[in-house]
Amino acid sequence: MANCLSDFPPGPLDKYRKLASFDWKQLSLFLNGEEFLNYRNELYNEILKYSVLLEQTDQTPTLDELRRKTTQKVFALKLVRDSVTARTNCNYADMSFAESSLAYLLDPSASVKRSVTFYMFTSVIASMGTERHRHFIENCLNGEILGCFGLTEIGHGSNTRGMRTTATYDPASRQFILHSPDFQAAKCWVGSLGQTATHGAIFAQLVTPDGIKHGLHAFVVPIRDSKTLVPYPGVKVGDMGEKIGLNGVDNGFIMFDQYHIPRENLLNKIGDVTEDGRYVADITDPNRRHGAALGNLSDGRINITSVNMCYLSKAVTIAIRYAAVRKQFSATEDDEEIPILEYQSHQHRLLPHLATFYAFRTFCKYLLEERDKFQLLLNKKSIDVHRITNTGLELHAISSACKSLAGWYARDAIQECREACAGHGYLKASGLGELRSNQDVCCTYEGENHVLIQQTSNWLLRLWPLVLKGKSVSTPLNTVEFLNRAPQILTSKFTPNSFEELTEPKNILDTFQWLVCYLLKLSFEKYESLKQHSLHSVESKAFWAKNDSQVFYAKSLSIAYIQHLILTAMSDKISKAADFKIKTVLEKLFALFAVTCLEKHIPFLYAGSYASGPTAAVLIQDSILRLCKSIKNDAIALVDVIAPPDFIVNSVLGYSDGQVYKHLEAAMLRAPGALSRPSWWKEITNWKKNIHSKL
């Protein structure tokens, strides 16, 4: 263990480090495991070999310079991963989380660009293509060609069925002809397309010579010559310009003008076109084909969940370390000033976010492992279609909710941490502003959160009729096994009378199971009633009933479902802790995450008659404060467990030595021109002569 984890430099954080009730190295080992820590160290050491990855600048570079540097980092990060995975035998879950906790925090733009260029492009080909496309994967992973993933269009994003780029088969030339009818059909937002991609996995409506549309299909589309980067005739490709974050990524647009590509470039796993122009597909139902075409997107969402949690970990590292050092006010004139971490409101602002990371850490590992098992299932020689379909659907339901929730949690945590660091948090050198701008888009890409989370409730709502008919509910990942007891659960009551009873893991999980059953029943009934009493046409009743039962119903259901799953994963992990001190602190974090979530569900507990009288609401609020207070002395050690290395924290407020003022002073003095007169100083002294009204 000593090799995996190094001690922190001495400094102002020592006071709180000494107050910790547990050994942070033991907790790190228990939470992460030796394999993860070793892999992360390997990754870290490999990163240190590339000077381009270590460059830090206080100044905002021009867009062009940022793009150039980011692209250099993309290649360096690819070499880092290739090298470490070639010599380390690490499981997928650990590898993936380590990537999020180092590469994504080091440079979000370069990591996102690397991901779309090399992995997203190849993963679409691997899952939707066949043997004839293998060379594209090999060439991309060798860096001969550079990929991108193009689905979104100017006029349509979430509504993928509305995409209007066409790929019409021409039997005479045995080619597909890609065409964008107008600007609204231009592919847009495509990462890496703006300046560098040579090939794209592009989604278009497949049309056969008889004029029949067969729905969205993916094609490998050559975009630029890989030797010159000059776009091919027939494509109009460009960069979308500056964004509010992730500016190292060249998000681009593309329009096709009767652009020909070989027939073989259709990724033909779900459907193919013969040389003479006949459409052939194993899946005959167009709806199922559409699902299959987009069904492999769970991977990205699972990764974004981890990435979000790593962003959150960086924010709480900065804000909690700063809170332990920053002092304001004293109780009396003679007393010493008090670290702001001692204030109740400050604890309440920061510590629930710390608990969120711990809750998600175990859950992310569980999720990444399930994703890995699913991949093995897909690769098996004897394919069990039924099991694959059902596992894919359950993973889709899980990833749709946890990607959304993780995005919202990280967004809120980063903003709270920025405000908690107040004035100095607003400095670029705090690192929080950039973190906020780069995380922001996690709520939008790979499925806009509000639209995406509907996928989870849709899946759950399909299970409720089984409960009503008294049939068994059985799903491959067993995430809703408790629905089989729904009738009993729905008659149960909130019984805790004390802090200890409320925070007991079994009672917490029971409460969340009640919430899921209640919200599922409520959402189902709301949907059915809206459908029945709808004034809309017969064909559109279900559509409007679904839309009108989201707020307070289906959305809350998806959230409660995923929170229950997160808590279950954490509770399982805690039950394996042999060290009493580690078990105790993890139980507190479990309870804090749980009661913070429950606080938002209080209206449901009363509306559903699960709780009555003031006890439940008062206990939940009291427990939040009590837990914050009792975690406070452990906060710095808990941060030490999850903090990235200093050069990745890269924040004057959040370094592990806690020398906030020393780093702050150095950063201010380093700022270009900090102590000099501006070159345009005469414009100030003569301003009355220089500034004139036009009139």
Ligand X SMILES: Cc1cc2nc3c(=O)[nH]c(=O)nc-3n(C[C@H](O)[C@H](O)[C@H](O)COP(=O)(O)OP(=O)(O)OC[C@H]3O[C@@H](n4cnc5c(N)ncnc54)[C@H](O)[C@@H]3O)c2cc1C
Minimum CB separation of residue 319 from ligand X in Å reads: 25
Owner of token pair 């690819």: 78
Residues 213, 169: Cα–Cα separation, whole Å? 11
User: Cα dist. 676→166, 669, 672, 679, 683 in Å?
Assistant: 59, 11, 9, 9, 16
The yes-or-no answer on residue 446 being catalytic is: yes
Owner of token pair 């993780």: 406
Least Cα distance to 447 among 414, 411, 401, 410 occurs for 401
Residues 632, 20: Cα–Cα separation, whole Å? 9
Measure the CA dihedral 258/259/261/265, to 10°.
-90
Minimum CB separation of residue 437 from ligand X in Å reads: 11
Minimum CB separation of residue 451 from ligand X in Å reads: 5
Residues 364, 367: Cα–Cα separation, whole Å? 5
Measure the CA dihedral 199/201/206/208, to 10°.
40
Residue number, 152 or 513, with CB nearest to ligand X: 152
Least Cα distance to 80 among 137, 35, 40, 120 occurs for 40
580 burial level (CB within 10 Å; 0-12, 13-18, 19+): exposed
Q: Are 446 and 297 in contact (CB under 8 A)?
A: yes
Minimum CB separation of residue 450 from ligand X in Å reads: 4
Q: Are 342 and 381 in contact (CB under 8 A)?
A: no
Residue number, 209 or 238, with CB nearest to ligand X: 238
Residue 332 marked as a ligand binder: no
Minimum CB separation of residue 558 from ligand X in Å reads: 13
Minimum CB separation of residue 447 from ligand X in Å reads: 6
Minimum CB separation of residue 127 from ligand X in Å reads: 16
Q: Three-state SS for 22?
A: coil
Residues 209, 512: Cα–Cα separation, whole Å? 54
Residue number, 251 or 656, with CB nearest to ligand X: 251
Minimum CB separation of residue 548 from ligand X in Å reads: 10
Minimum CB separation of residue 181 from ligand X in Å reads: 18
Residues 66, 62: Cα–Cα separation, whole Å? 6
Residues 60, 251: Cα–Cα separation, whole Å? 19
The b/e string for 626-651 (b: 16+ C-beta within 10 A; e otherwise) is: bbbebbbebbbbbbbbbbbbeebbbb
> CA gyration radius for the chain?
27
Minimum CB separation of residue 45 from ligand X in Å reads: 31
Q: Are 161 and 187 in contact (CB under 8 A)?
A: no
Owner of token pair 């919202």: 408
Residue number, 458 or 633, with CB nearest to ligand X: 458
DSSP code string of 340-373: GGGSHHHHHHHHHHHHHHHHHHHHHHHHHHHHHH
Residues 236, 228: Cα–Cα separation, whole Å? 16
Interface positions with ligand X (CB under 6 A): 116, 149-152, 157-158, 189-191, 246, 251, 441, 444-445, 448, 450-451, 547
Residue number, 129 or 191, with CB nearest to ligand X: 191
Measure the CA dihedral 149/155/160/163, to 10°.
-80
Minimum CB separation of residue 251 from ligand X in Å reads: 5
Phi-psi region of 456 (alpha: psi -120 to 50; beta: other; left: phi over 0): alpha
Residue number, 130 or 158, with CB nearest to ligand X: 158
Residue number, 194 or 222, with CB nearest to ligand X: 194
Nearest 5°: phi and psi at 333? -60, -30
Query: Identity (one letter) of the amino acid at 49?
Result: K
Residue number, 126 or 304, with CB nearest to ligand X: 304
Eight-state DSSP code of residue 117: I
Residue number, 191 or 352, with CB nearest to ligand X: 191
Residue number, 157 or 644, with CB nearest to ligand X: 157
Eight-state DSSP code of residue 104: I
| Number of helical (H) and strand (E) elements in the chain, helices listed first | 31, 11
Residue number, 101 or 251, with CB nearest to ligand X: 251
Residues 221, 208: Cα–Cα separation, whole Å? 18
Active-site residue (options: 99, 153, 446, 587):
446
Q: In the bound complex, which residue of the shown chain has the CB atom lying closest to ligand X?
A: 157
Q: Euclidean distance between the first and final Cα of the chain, in Å?
A: 75
Pairing of strands 199-207, 259-262: unpaired
Residue 191 marked as a ligand binder: yes
Query: Identity (one letter) of the amino acid at 430?
Result: S
Specify binding-site residues for FAD. Answer: 152, 191
Specify binding-site residues. Answer: 152, 191
What is the set of active-site residues? 446
